[in-house]
Chains A and B, each alone.
Chain A
Amino acid sequence: MWDYSEKVIDHYRNPRNVGKIDNADAIGEAGSLACGDSLKIYLKIKDGIVTDAKFQTFGCGSAVASSSILTEMIIGKSVEEVKKITNKDIADELGGLPPEKMHCSVMGYEALEDALKNYDDYTDLDDLRNEQANNEKKEKIVCTCFNVTENMIWDAIKVNGLKTVEEVTNYTKAGGACGRCKSAIQDIIDTYYKKELSENTLSPAQKIIKINNIIENQISPELRKDGGDITLVDIRDNKVLVKLRGRCSGCKNSHMTLKVFVETTLRDTVDKKIEVIEVQN
């Protein structure tokens, strides 16, 4: 049995805004009957504001709950605001979904995206933002069982920080049937993270804040468990200067702590080129 949140249960028991809107301003669809879940969403839009939304869903409890809460989330919002909603927002609003059910929130997002695409005044923000990335290649279908495109997988990885094939399957269904596309999904994951790391989109200020946060929230608490601590002294390009304190300073293993723990953590989370250097006083 699934461990559904109370909100999910409430929404599949009493779904809000069920039905269709005659002469809707935008209609979006996602999923298919053959795949086991599908969703149709109808929007009424006036002066750039979503004034009404209704849905019809074929799917499990979490699919109905995702659709239902999505309509509540968008009514009264401007189209600009609605465009920013991701599948993660839908899942969060529901108080979370079981990992295997995350694809239900993705379906909600896709139907919404489809509706907005069909809406006259809509210009695809993603296209503008990511002109290069959004090439034809990404419309290529990766999972033929569930008709999942490279683009859909890419988006799911980006929004939800997915790292494994299994997670991608939970969020998009891709790879969940015959499994033949699993290596292709792995390639997409690899490509995404290679790209993310190489692009290094952080500004110098953002980078400093991020390094500082990671030292304070991840590294320092670990060292404190052993009676030591660490302070950030300075950052020069990719060189992170730190001072070890408490039991860590003067510890024989301090070099190991720096290289293996501190440096690896920072490299994994911020930048592969980071080098950690200990300074005395």
Chain B
Amino acid sequence: MIYLDNNATTKVDPKVLEAMLPYFKEEYANPSSIYDFAKHSNHAVKEARGVMKDFFNAENEKEIIFTSCGSESANTAIRGVLNMNRNKRHIITTKVEHPCVLNLYGALEKEGYKVDYIGVNSNGELDLAQLEETVNDDTALVSVMYANNETGVVFPIEKISQIIKSKNKETKFYVDAVQVTGKLKIDVQKLGVDMMGISGHKFHAPKGIGALYVNSKTLITPLIIGGHQERGKRAGTENVPYIVGMAKAAELATDSLKYEATEIKRLRDKLESNILKNVFNARLNAGIVNRVPNTTNIGFEYIEGELILLHLSDLGICASSGSACTSGSLEPSHVLRAMNVPFTAIHGSIRFSLSKFTTEKEIDYVCEKMPSIIEKLTNISPYQDELEALKRLKH
């Protein structure tokens, strides 16, 4: 099997699993208990919090909240900060956010909030001028993803933070950083963000664990109310093994950042340029802009994405698609639509996302198989005249 869907989820690093196991077996104590037996698990959570502080480059360990996933991080931050500023009713986000955030804003609109959605250009870059115009005195929150999950396009978070704060110092800034963990170095202080959410399973920790950074100047109400855990910001007995696992994954991710930026980027570029060169109806869905090193999104004109994925799957290759058919929704990707990807290509868009476990041999295999799969499917298409014209244009 060749797994090129690492933006969906990643393989748990064996070292992560190893670090977790003692906390399933011997060290099962509740970290809040007072006997000696609980000391190890208590220390493990403290240590993990320290690792995550460094991972975010936060100022203080108290700024780290462990959650169960990226969606919980986002919900806690967004609802939490709005609850603390009830007199402000304006929110700004982007048209290309992850559904976990977009659907939350949809719900908030129904609750009476005004939400503005900032657009992107055909390269996937955010319209910063529109953002600047939109921030006003009533703006409680701006939320922007660090990198887009479908295209890998990285947004200039530091610059966006400056724009927001120059217009309204009190506006809080939430960053969904789920897609940059393990791919780019995170530095919340340099970026100037108030809150940032991440998810463990996107960087080789297991599913079911996430983290939220909330700087000490930002007050939030908890989403889950109950015990005193996470300093009252998130009730529920600490998920010790998973917290330990995510911290281990964060350490490993920091160690492999350079590998990500060079080797994984090289493999991604190889895959991308090969396909674009050898498949006449392939086009890159993003411009030559700042992207995370592991992601490429390629549209195949006049063929449908699910059909491509099924044929890739027959060869053991896992990728994903922005096509409507794969998701069960009837509309293609909101991200690609916001980028105005032509409708000839939007339904045939495929995302490949690599990881540190991807090998050159695997990439070579995909490069070798891709042209024949696309050729087979192109022959089924009813748009033979258009395809013929495209072919002539390309040569």
Contact = CB atoms under 8 A, between A and B. Distances in A.
A binds B: yes
Interface of A: 12-13, 15, 18-20, 29, 33-34, 36-40, 56-61, 63-64, 100-101, 145-146, 169, 173, 176-177
Contacts of A58: 302-304, 347, 380-383
Interface residues of B, number: 27
B380 A64 contact: yes
B386 to A, nearest CB: 9
A60 B307 contact: yes
Contacts of B331: 145, 176-177
Contacts of B379: 18-19
A59 B304 contact: yes
Interface string B297-312: 0000011111100110
B347 A56 contact: no
Contacts of A146: 330
B325 interface: yes
Contacts of B310: 12, 60-61
B382 A39 contact: yes
B380 A36 contact: no
B382 A40 contact: yes
A36 B381 contact: no
Nearest to A59: B304
Contacts of A61: 306-307, 310
Contacts of B332: 36
Contact of A57 (B305, B324, B328, B380): B380
A57 B314 contact: no
B87 interface: no
Nearest to A100: B328
Contacts, number: 74
B343 A33 contact: yes
B343 A15 contact: no
Q: Which 8 A-B pairs have the closest CB atoms?
A: A176-B330, A60-B325, A56-B382, A60-B306, A40-B382, A36-B347, A34-B343, A100-B328
12 contacts: A12-B310, A18-B379, A33-B383, A36-B324, A36-B332, A36-B347, A38-B382, A60-B310, A60-B325, A64-B380, A145-B331, A146-B330
A33 B302 contact: yes
A39 B307 CA distance: 14
B384 interface: yes
B296 to A, nearest CB: 22
A233 to B, nearest CB: 49
A177 B330 contact: yes
Nearest to B347: A36
B344 interface: yes
B381 A56 contact: yes
B330 A60 contact: no
A36 B323 contact: yes
A267 B55 CA distance: 66
Interface in B375-395: 379-384
A36 B346 CA distance: 9
A8 B325 CA distance: 15
Contact of B325 (A34, A56, A57, A59): A59
B307 to A, nearest CB: 6
